Amino acid sequence: MNVHQLLSGAGPVDAVTNQARAYRRLFSEWGWGGGDHAVHVDPRAGRDFSPLAKLDPGPEDVLLFHFSAYAPKLAEWLDRPQRKLLVSHNITPARWFWDFEPMTAVQCTIGREQLPRFAQGVDLAAGVSAYNAAELADAGARETAVVPILVDRARLGAPRPDGEEVSGPPHVLFVGRITPHKRHDLLIRAFALYRREHAPDARLMLVGEPLTPGYGEAIRALGERLAPGAVAIESMLSSDQLADRWRAAHVFVCLSEHEGFCIPLLEAFHFGVPVVARAIGGIPEVAGDAVLLLDQPDPALVAELIHLAVSDAGLRGELRGRGRARLEVFEFARTAAKLRESVDRAAGSV
């Protein structure tokens, strides 16, 4: 079978591109052919992706659309006669971007407007979580499936040895793009309270690319004002550096307003880092019972939960154990099987 992947953009570090690469590795293992194509190919993405204009699929081939935002030239391919599978990676509501980056807001708005066309124009529409799949069903998809994000733990780096606790002052970690909906502002406020009430020497590590240099600077300034010298922002880390940040963390805190899946939860489980997170979007189904979940991110409550997650050894151990169990649910081979089943369904072979 030939499966061609179609993306709106292929970049050096973005999650959708990485997921397409992981899919291709699996397709090759399964003996499937096909190519990977994007409307915009960033030169830093390497030679794995070709311009979409060069795609020339055979009549029996499967077209796999990765949909994550505005994709004008991708939509034209919905009219092709081949069998089609959509993998929807979740589109952030535009309302978080208007004030800071209107261009992104427009792309999200049009992306959401286009979603029904994509959902209805394919043989099978897959979401990365049940939350996402429900959106696809609402958008009119004939058939839906859930294909979680593929996370290859072998590529994440080694966690600390069992039973070895991280030492030194408390390190609070968040990994994710620095964008308004991720609510770094709330996290900094909660962290400042935690420092004041419990741990004056605590540090906050924010790892991610800023939406714009200006927005990154605004977050940096807020951190400097509320917790002087204690908030570090790092971007473009190598996988080894990122693994070091995880191994140094006492707790991972996510107060995002919108998440379709939240890969860092699985990374936290892998590295044995307790998690405090907001119960939003796809987070509860990834988190299961292994995360301290909040409905409303009151900064004082978050601060107190950070304190518990850092200082209560029994709680930390329990969360670690449950996290390991969640990793099994999202184990690579299991997710790969779901992907294969979805491609087969889309191809009409099951």
Partner 1 sequence: MKPEDAVAAARAEVARRKAEGGYAESGGELTIEPMDQVSRAMLMEWALVEPDMDKLRSTRRLGGPITWLKRLLARGLQQYHNEVNYQQTRFNIHVLRKLIELEDRVERVERREP
Residues that bind partner 1 (CB under 8 A): 53, 70, 72, 93-96, 98-99, 102-103, 105-107, 109-110, 113, 180-181, 183, 185, 188-189, 192-193, 197, 218-219, 221-222, 225-226, 257, 289-294, 298-301, 303-305, 307-309, 312, 314-315, 318-319, 322
How far is the C-alpha of 239 from the C-alpha of 246, rounded, in Å?
A: 11
Shorter beta-carbon distance to partner 1: residue 113 or 152: 113
Query: Number of C-alpha atoms within 13 angstroms, CB side, residue 174?
Result: 27
Least CB distance to partner 1 at residue 190 (A): 10
Shorter beta-carbon distance to partner 1: residue 23 or 269: 269
Report the SS3 class of residue 223: helix
Pairing of strands 36-41, 171-175: unpaired
- DSSP-assigned states of every residue in 76-118: GGGGSSSEEEEEE-----GGGTTTT-HHHHHHHHHHHHHHHHH
Least CB distance to partner 1 at residue 200 (A): 14
Least CB distance to partner 1 at residue 146 (A): 25
Report the SS3 class of residue 178: strand
What region does 229 belong to: left with phi over 0, alpha with psi -120 to 50, or beta? left
Q: What would the two tokens of residue 178 be?
A: 């620095």
- Cβ 94 vs Cβ 109: under 8 Å: yes
Shorter beta-carbon distance to partner 1: residue 60 or 312: 312
Q: What are phi and psi of 84, to 5 degrees?
A: -135, 140
Least CB distance to partner 1 at residue 119 (A): 16
Least CB distance to partner 1 at residue 269 (A): 13
Shorter beta-carbon distance to partner 1: residue 226 or 268: 226
Q: Look at the chain and count its residues.
A: 350
Least CB distance to partner 1 at residue 298 (A): 8
Least CB distance to partner 1 at residue 86 (A): 19
Shorter beta-carbon distance to partner 1: residue 102 or 348: 102
Name the helix (H) or strand (E) containing 217.
helix 213-226
To which residue do tokens 């997921």 refer?
19
Alpha-carbon distance values, 246 to 39, 235, 252, 310, 320 (Å)? 34, 14, 9, 14, 14
Shorter beta-carbon distance to partner 1: residue 34 or 274: 274
How far is the C-alpha of 67 from the C-alpha of 120, rounded, in Å?
A: 13
Least CB distance to partner 1 at residue 330 (A): 19
Torsion of CA 303, 307, 309, 312, to 10 degrees: -160
Shorter beta-carbon distance to partner 1: residue 102 or 169: 102
Name the helix (H) or strand (E) containing 9.
strand 3-10
Shorter beta-carbon distance to partner 1: residue 304 or 341: 304
Shorter beta-carbon distance to partner 1: residue 263 or 319: 319
Least CB distance to partner 1 at residue 285 (A): 17
In sign, the C-alpha dihedral spanning 57, 42, 19, 261 is negative
- Cβ 204 vs Cβ 170: under 8 Å: no
